[in-house]
Structure 1
Amino acid sequence: MMLVLAVIQLIAISAVSAALYDVTKYGADRSGGIPSTDQIARAINDAAIHGAGIVHFPPGKYLTGPIELKSNIILDIADSTIITFLDDPALYPPLDATLPDGKQRRIEFTPLIRGVGVRNVAIRGNCVLEGNGAIWWDRLPPPATRPIFIYFSGSHNIVLKNIIIRNSPMFNVNIIWSNSIVVDGIRIRNPESYKGAGPNTDGINLLSVNRVHVTNVDVATGDDCLVLDAWGYGKDRDPTHDVLIENSHMSIGHSGVGIGSITAGGLRNITIRNCVFDSVCRGVDIRTNNVRGGVVEDILYQNLTMNNCTWEGISITALFPDYKDKGWHPIGDQTPFIRNIRYENIRGSAEREGIYLVGLPESPVENIVLENVDMRSKKPNPILLQNTRNIVINGRRY
């Protein structure tokens, strides 16, 4: 994939030419006993002042508050290093930011690691990033908002490689209004549930992004393992497009790979292939409703294994989460359209329907092809179709 080569090459060139900024030279404590928030910030700011830099964490244990990344910075973390984030709410005040294109963004807590309006940034290392999530979940149980772990907004050329993210207070990776993104080899671990429903700990949450490659990730979390959304309001539409997700393992989450329910901006040209989903609620799903709008089209699912889905295996619904009003409505700006979806070489099992496709009376789910698909189900009828048009399942037209 040319995007991946271009972004990795760009970061590699930066690594060759950039100076090394060792956080311990700025006084960071690698015993884990003393917070190093200010020392880490000084290393990053020094690198940014000089135009670029590799901010290096030698082996050890570090304790820190939030980290703000700057353009042309590689956060390079030595193998087996553990960075633990402090849980004091006073360190994570509300964040107001203006993006390069003038968009305003406010989030209720400063993320643990953030980059807003940055370019050419990487976080890499066979290391552990520990978020102290249980303290936050007890303090602010669902559906309360808590800090996001890794957050990028309005940014370009982002690489996340090989890191382990553990116990995020809320979303683990959240990237919005950004492009040219590579997520490679990262591992995410959050509990399946915590005193009830999973505490909004989406693994990888991408909103209004394009030119994205996610590969070799391993996600087990209490909410969606990976979700793609697209923001839109009125005439302002920010689509998600040109996304490849491959060679990955997802488990125990609400969905293996979910599209929506924020669909107003439109999502297109997305491929999910060569992945295994274990004990997720839904294997792959597309979800929206008649107030979300947007066009979801040109999606390819290929070579997937879905073991023990606790709900549906393959799911499309325009009645998410469970809209009671299932009658006909005039087509308008908020009407969603789901079409041109293809599933190839998929095997698995589900507690509910193996194939669940539900559209709207005024906007049927249409042009869906399932080829060489074997989704076993405990339901007497493993296929449910409502408000659909031109559906082909293993050569049979419905």
Structure 2
Amino acid sequence: MRTNSLLAVLALAIIKDVAAFPSKQSSGNDEGSKKSHNNNDKPTKSSSHKGAPSPKPRPQPQGGHSNSSSSNCHVTTYDAIPAAVSGCTDITLDGITVPGKSTIDLSSLKQGSKVTFAGRTFWEHGDANYPLVKISGVDVEITGAEGAVLDGNGACWWDGLGSNGGVAKPNHFFQVRGVSGKSCIHDLYIENYPVHGIMVSGSSGLDIHHVTLNNTAGEAPNSRSNGKPASHNSDGFGMSSTTDSTIHDCTVINQDDCVAVTSGNNILIENMECLGSPHGLSIGSVGGKSSKLRSITSSGEHSANGIPSADNTVTNVTFKNSNVRNSENGIRIKSNENTTGLVQNILFENIHVENIFKYGIVLQQDYLNGGPTGKPTNGVKFKDITIRNIKGTATKDAKNYYILCGKGSCENITIDNVDITGGGEKSTCNFKTSGSFDCDGGFQ
């Protein structure tokens, strides 16, 4: 079992590496990073995965920002934000204190707008379900000035239940919806967010990089959490119904998924540091989602024929060159029981896992939010999945590997060059994969 002291030591190591954060990094709008990601990629030499990703050079100004009045565009009070959004394309939000039950609404940004958070942004308490920040737009840039901190004041809401009940609380820190063109979110330091971190839906062409999500304070129990970590469901990054997008060079210290892709196409996740994230790097859960959002093409137009059953399909997703430490699961693909959907063309490669206390690698088709059933169903298909070059350690209470497929619903799964050791529970796999993987002799 993980302990608070171990988490604190590991968190300190990460924080020291990003102590100068947020320093400006490259913009990351590199067309090469948004090519189709599939299982035919050649494996690269695995790095040692020590510490946080190395900083990249500062970005050069993109130009094209013009303001009607620069004084109105440098905002220091919450009430002045709407006027800046409607009248400016280069906006600075400097030291904003946000009233309780209020949202920084950036959902009507002009095309090509840039928003910079400066100083300390702080959200006051208010019991309700609402996003702390809303973001939409075409070719938009959201970033942080040197030394800026976005403090979600999560301790006011943390009760050990997250989005599963308890006090009404802000469900998303960043609600990113309908972003398109060549947009980016970068160089942000976010701490103490109430529930979910940066949730992206219905978007395309988005590059997220050099963001730190630090919920270390939520690991300790409080008077309302019954001995459990006070923060719960604090997913770092989530993507749904999103295409042609990347998340890279980010650090997540939290109490749920580091990154979870629940639907979407052509997504790249790389160079991630995940610490204390119970569910590591995840696909799913897939299945049972209602079609509230359509996928969006890179031109910003909604595509009715884009991804079949878009909210229940994950295709062409790559996770690579990342670390998962002190986590319940290392890498995971999960589908909800008695639902339909598709997970296809998925690649996990060059990932280091350390001190995993449930499953090092897990594929399961029996998921329920209240706990898996142990009885897989076959409505969600897992096809053309490659897992390779995964190394690391698990604890004595963990299984190194666990695969639970429904009848006929797993196909063409290749696992090669994996070496997770230390798990004291016997690995079990009810589906015979291709490659050198032998499930520690646990194929059933």
TM-score, structure 1 normalization? 0.78
| Change in CA separation of 1:182 and 1:143 when aligned onto 2, cut-off 3 Å | same
How far apart, in 2, do the equivalents of 1:263 and 1:112 lie? 28
| Change in CA separation of 1:216 and 1:154 when aligned onto 2, cut-off 3 Å | same
Cα shift at 1:391: 3.6
1:225 equivalent among 245, 258, 268: 258
Partner of 1:298: 345
| Change in CA separation of 1:22 and 1:243 when aligned onto 2, cut-off 3 Å | farther
Q: Can you list the C-alpha shifts for 1:109-141, whole angstroms capped at 9, x where unaligned? A: 2x111024x222221124211111111225986
Partner of 1:56: 92
| Change in CA separation of 1:324 and 1:138 when aligned onto 2, cut-off 3 Å | closer
Partner of 1:71: 110
- Name the amino acid aligned to 1:242: N
Cα shift at 1:269: 0.7
| SS class of match (1:149) | strand
Identity between Structure 1 and Structure 2 (%): 21
- Name the amino acid aligned to 2:414: V
Partner of 2:135: 115
- Name the amino acid aligned to 1:290: E
Q: Can you list the C-alpha shifts for 1:206-232, whole angstroms capped at 9, x where unaligned? A: 1111111111000011111111112xx
Partner of 2:249: 216
Give unpaired runs (5+ residues) of structure 2: 1-27, 34-58, 289-311
| SS class of match (2:266) | strand
Q: Can you list the C-alpha shifts for 1:125-158, whole angstroms capped at 9, x where unaligned? A: 2421111111122598652352211111222143
Native 8 Å contact 1:308 1:349 kept in 2: yes
What is the number of equivalent residue pairs in this alignment?
342
2:419 equivalent among 361, 374, 387: 374
| Change in CA separation of 1:220 and 1:55 when aligned onto 2, cut-off 3 Å | same
Native 8 Å contact 2:121 2:150 kept in 1: yes
How far apart, in 1, do the equivalents of 2:343 and 2:173 lie? 28
Give unpaired runs (5+ residues) of structure 1: 30-35, 48-52, 93-107, 231-239
Partner of 2:84: 43
2:394 equivalent among 324, 336, 350: 350
Native 8 Å contact 2:162 2:233 kept in 1: no
CA-atom RMSD, angstroms? 2.9
How far apart, in 1, do the equivalents of 2:74 and 2:361 lie? 52
Cα shift at 1:283: 0.7
Partner of 2:29: 4
1:1-398 correspondence to structure 2 within 5 Å: 4-6=29-31, 15-20=62-67, 25=72, 28-29=75-76, 36-47=77-88, 53-57=89-93, 61-64=95-98, 65-69=102-106, 70-72=109-111, 73-78=113-118, 81-89=119-127, 108-109=129-130, 111-116=131-136, 118-125=137-144, 126=146, 127-138=148-159, 143-144=164-165, 146-147=169-170, 148-157=172-181, 158-190=183-215, 191-192=218-219, 194=221, 195=225, 196=228, 198-230=231-263, 240-263=264-287, 265-321=312-368, 322-324=371-373, 326=375, 335-351=379-395, 352-360=398-406, 362-379=407-424, 381=426, 383-386=427-430, 388-394=431-437
Q: Can you list the C-alpha shifts for 1:318-337, whole angstroms capped at 9, x where unaligned? A: 0114444727x7x6xxx111
Cα shift at 1:316: 0.3
Greater RCO, CA 8 A, separation 6+: 2
Native 8 Å contact 2:337 2:367 kept in 1: no
TM-score, structure 2 normalization? 0.70
